[in-house]
Amino acid sequence: MMIRAGSDFFADLPSATYNAWKDTHSLRAIYKGAPLFLEGSPVEGIYLILQGRFKLFTSHANGRRHITGIAVPGDLVCLPSVIRGGEYDCSCQALEDGRLGFVSRDAFFNLLRNQPEMTIKMVGSLAADIHGLRKNLSNMACLPGQQRLAVVLLRLGQDFGKPTSKGIEIEITLSRKEIAEVACMASETTIRQLSAFQKQGLIRSIRRKLIITDGAGLTRLAKGNYATNSFPQKTP
């Protein structure tokens, strides 16, 4: 389970490097719910998210989907597929209206040749992603559903949480089906478990937004065989 797909790629790079990107990219707009690209489609180039959030997911033969990450402004989308070439190894869909900068694959490789700082950052980003995916896969594979869902909610709170008087409000809006797709669980099981969490006072649901009301309790549920840090008790 990898919620946040990456980090602001250009944050620590020289302004000249970002300006070189800007001189090359073209701007594209996309509406909520629209696909940016589909798993198995040819790789045309690389996208930098400027506005909006996007879910990355894979589809399985049984019809189920697994959400592998949520990309946010500053992320380069599906970087491994672009480096490898061929086809995208996942699909990408807008969770809200968004804007992106697009650079063709050939132009992107020209940028890497001329901007060594960008190349070094890219290698580090790929290494961090591989390490994170391996760690998450090995940790999550043996967890029962209740613990797995607790871990997912904690990660959503850490990555997208906003402190309020009621608790930590998860600002990104995901349907129950999408939460199930993050946790690799059946939708029916996820709905039942979320209802049980609400009865236990661990979470609340207000106008389709989830609020973590007992982070410590949810952390205790999540621990088990999964080594997770204590959920930060943010205060508004």
Per domain, the residue ranges of the chain are 15-139, 143-223
pTM, to two decimals = 0.82
Question: In the predicted model, what is the mean pLDDT of residues 126-153?
Answer: 75
Angstrom distance (rounded) from CA 147 to CA 145: 6
CB-CB contact of 226 with 144 (8 Å): no
Quickly state the pLDDT bin for 223 (edges 50, 70, 90): confident
Where are the strands (E) in 26-134, listed by range?
A: 26-30, 35-37, 45-51, 54-59, 65-71, 76-77, 91-94, 98-104
Q: What confidence score (pLDDT) does residue 225 get?
A: 39
- Residue corresponding to tokens 């509406």: 31
CB-CB contact of 153 with 232 (8 Å): no
Quickly state the pLDDT bin for 3 (edges 50, 70, 90): low
Question: In the predicted model, what is the mean pLDDT of residues 169-181?
Answer: 91
231 vs 8, residue with greater confidence: 8
pLDDT in tens, 44-78: 999 999 999 999 999 988 878 889 889 999 999 98
- Largest Cα–Cα separation, the chain: 57
Q: What confidence score (pLDDT) does residue 188 get?
A: 92
The CATH fold assigned to 15-139 is Jelly Rolls (2.60.120)
Question: In the predicted model, what is the mean pLDDT of residues 33-42?
Answer: 96
Give 21's contacts (C-beta < 8 A, 6+ positions apart). Answer: 10, 48, 101, 103, 111, 118
Phi, psi torsion values for 132, nearest 5 degrees: -65, -40
Residue type, 65: R
CB-CB contact of 143 with 151 (8 Å): yes
Residue 92 has pLDDT above 60, yes or no: yes
The CATH fold assigned to 143-223 is Arc Repressor Mutant, subunit A (1.10.10)
**Which among 196, 194, 167 has a CA at the least distance from the CA of 178?**
194
Angstrom distance (rounded) from CA 188 to CA 173: 19
Residue 82 has pLDDT above 50, yes or no: yes
